Chains A and B, each alone.
Chain A
């Protein structure tokens, strides 16, 4: 059974300066795995942050062949309890202070299942991640050991990760992109700099400088911040690789960061993925970026992209828009919405209909143009626009007709017949509900929402008017 920890892999704990590498790292991971063996059998839930303990817990579980769901430590206690009730995990590691749910007991900071009703997970199952940010009921994406390992290796190939590299944990580990940064570096024998603070904190940049971090991973919102901060790579001589995924970054910024990095001999990679693909599906080689501006790149090594037309036929013919379909060893086994599904084997056969719309060019470079379903992003969080409209109508503000359209990193909601005060109240209510800043929900008054002949909302007119 191959390992996620390649020869030479190291973890650098920024807060303490401690370095774990070689046999010592392997031994620590083994110890972490042994501690988990004492827990009740079944799937583990781990609320992990970007700290050494969290990383070792994940690696310990993975290397010991123990299926583990990585959950946002900021998850509401209510949501977490709902998850626990739904999936009956063996334990919740790093449980919140709230009382343990029925059938669980709190011990050493964890919730341990006291009943024997847990499901034995499928032997291939390695990692579970929640699908992000929608207002609907979250589901777990089931990733096999093979999917995680093959994706880590393919990413390392595509980005040319090698032993001297050191990547900081700029993204949470419960987020598939953040986890893939960790996996792709360790598998190739490179290093990961474990740093709990973020891009807007002095500690982060001090750690980058002190330990000589070589790359930085971010979602579009991070690049907007770096742009705003007038990020200058000359101040960080070791930092020569930028990677961007998690949504479409506006092409002016893609070009700007490419130029900035290129000027110091560095590289900017634009990538495309989904948690459902563990997560990477495509990367745009840095040297091709200027001529392929706006593209998400070509399929990862070992994967293939095609487009499914409206009539259901698949094609790789250039410039035909349809649903993007990906094939590869990294495609998930399927979703889990119930505990019973944790025992299911592969239901996908290595084929993923992404729900994204796009086309390929003559050389197989992917251009993503939108979503089949109406999905918006608020500061990097996927939000189902139909659900959001429903939530806006459900506020106590008495709004009956509302239309939500995506607008970059926020959502604009047009509320029929609402005044400025009412709009503000709706924006705040949505912000409260989704735990995002209210500036992400731009609620505007409108006399009448435009309709199509069918009586449905004409979103195109609204989007054009933004």
Chain B
């Protein structure tokens, strides 16, 4: 499988317009101005495009940090792990 964390990092950097030195791995919702509710919806749309998935209500709401996003995408893209809605 391609490097999910790396692709996700790229999505975060592009959509939230993060500076080079930003500690993306430890980023959490509303911690920076760019990741507000508007940034969040933009981010969700970009993640869906990049990984060709559709996130449900709970997934969108629970996507509260970069780490959570990595875990979520890993579970979504793994065929072995059943995905609950």
B 40-65 contacts with A by CB, 8 A: 40-42, 44, 56-57, 60-62, 64
A 174-232 contacts with B by CB, 8 A: 198-202, 205, 221, 224-225, 228-232
- Which residues in A have their C-beta under 8 angstroms from that of B17? 428, 438
In contact, B38 and A440 (Cβ under 8 angstroms): yes
In contact, B60 and A200 (Cβ under 8 angstroms): yes
Which label, helix, strand, loop or mixed, suits the secondary structure of the A interface? Answer: loop
A260 located at the interface, meaning its Cβ lies under 8 Å from any Cβ of chain B in the complex: no
Which label, helix, strand, loop or mixed, suits the secondary structure of the B interface? Answer: helix
- Closest A-chain residue to B42, C-beta based? A439
A385 to chain B, nearest CB (A): 19
A436 located at the interface, meaning its Cβ lies under 8 Å from any Cβ of chain B in the complex: yes
- Which residues in A have their C-beta under 8 angstroms from that of B62? 202
Given contacts A232-B57, A428-B17, are A437 and B29 in contact (CB under 8 A)?
Answer: no
Given contacts A230-B56, A230-B57, A231-B57, are A437 and B64 in contact (CB under 8 A)?
Answer: no
User: Complex Cα distance A229/B48, Å?
Assistant: 13
Complex interface bits, B15-56 against A, C-beta within 8 A gives 1, otherwise 0: 001000000000001000110111111101000000000001
Complex interface bits, A40-58 against B, C-beta within 8 A gives 1, otherwise 0: 0000000000000000000
User: Complex Cα distance A168/B11, Å?
Assistant: 33
- Closest A-chain residue to B17, C-beta based? A438
In contact, A379 and B64 (Cβ under 8 angstroms): no
In contact, B57 and A437 (Cβ under 8 angstroms): no
- Which residues in B have their C-beta under 8 angstroms from that of A198? 37
A426 to chain B, nearest CB (A): 14
In contact, B56 and A205 (Cβ under 8 angstroms): no
Q: A201's contact among B41, B56, B61, by CB below 8 Å, is which?
A: B61
Q: Number of B residues contacting the other chain (C-beta, 8 Å)?
A: 18
In contact, B64 and A229 (Cβ under 8 angstroms): no
In contact, A437 and B60 (Cβ under 8 angstroms): no
In contact, B61 and A225 (Cβ under 8 angstroms): no
User: Complex Cα distance A225/B17, Å?
Assistant: 21
In contact, B29 and A201 (Cβ under 8 angstroms): yes
- Which residues in B have their C-beta under 8 angstroms from that of A440? 38
- Which residues in B have their C-beta under 8 angstroms from that of A231? 57
In contact, B37 and A225 (Cβ under 8 angstroms): yes
Given contacts A200-B29, A230-B56, A428-B17, are A437 and B61 in contact (CB under 8 A)?
Answer: no
- Which residues in B have their C-beta under 8 angstroms from that of A221? 37-38
In contact, B38 and A439 (Cβ under 8 angstroms): yes
A317 located at the interface, meaning its Cβ lies under 8 Å from any Cβ of chain B in the complex: no
In contact, B34 and A229 (Cβ under 8 angstroms): no
Q: B61's contact among A202, A232, A438, by CB below 8 Å, is which?
A: A202
A435 located at the interface, meaning its Cβ lies under 8 Å from any Cβ of chain B in the complex: yes
User: Complex Cα distance A205/B62, Å?
Assistant: 11
User: Complex Cα distance A369/B4, Å?
Assistant: 47
- Which residues in B have their C-beta under 8 angstroms from that of A232? 57
User: Complex Cα distance A221/B42, Å?
Assistant: 13
In contact, B38 and A436 (Cβ under 8 angstroms): yes
- Which residues in A have their C-beta under 8 angstroms from that of B56? 230
User: Complex Cα distance A230/B60, Å?
Assistant: 10
- Closest A-chain residue to B37, C-beta based? A200
Q: A435's contact among B33, B40, B44, B60, by CB below 8 Å, is which?
A: B33
User: Complex Cα distance A205/B60, Å?
Assistant: 13
- Which residues in A have their C-beta under 8 angstroms from that of B57? 229-232
Q: B36's contact among A202, A230, A428, A437, by CB below 8 Å, is which?
A: A437
Q: B40's contact among A200, A224, A428, by CB below 8 Å, is which?
A: A200
In contact, A202 and B42 (Cβ under 8 angstroms): no
User: Complex Cα distance A200/B62, Å?
Assistant: 8
- Which residues in B have their C-beta under 8 angstroms from that of A437? 34, 36, 38-39, 42
Q: B60's contact among A228, A428, A438, A439, by CB below 8 Å, is which?
A: A228
- Closest A-chain residue to B59, C-beta based? A229
User: Complex Cα distance A205/B64, Å?
Assistant: 14
In contact, B60 and A229 (Cβ under 8 angstroms): yes
Given contacts A200-B29, A230-B57, A437-B34, are A225 and B64 in contact (CB under 8 A)?
Answer: no
B 52-85 contacts with A by CB, 8 A: 56-57, 60-62, 64
- Which residues in B have their C-beta under 8 angstroms from that of A199? 37
User: Complex Cα distance A143/B75, Å?
Assistant: 53
- Closest B-chain residue to A229, C-beta based? B57
In contact, A225 and B41 (Cβ under 8 angstroms): yes
B residues at A contact (CB < 8 Å):
17, 29, 33-34, 36-42, 44, 56-57, 60-62, 64
List, sorted by A's number, 29 A–B pairs whose CB atoms are closer than 8 Å: A199-B37, A200-B29, A200-B40, A200-B41, A200-B60, A200-B61, A202-B61, A202-B62, A202-B64, A205-B61, A221-B38, A224-B41, A225-B37, A228-B41, A228-B44, A228-B60, A229-B57, A229-B60, A229-B61, A230-B56, A230-B57, A379-B38, A435-B33, A436-B38, A437-B42, A438-B17, A439-B38, A439-B42, A440-B38
Given contacts A221-B37, A437-B34, A438-B17, 13 further A-B contacts (CB under 8 A): A200-B60, A200-B61, A202-B62, A225-B37, A225-B41, A228-B41, A228-B44, A229-B57, A229-B60, A428-B17, A437-B36, A437-B38, A437-B42
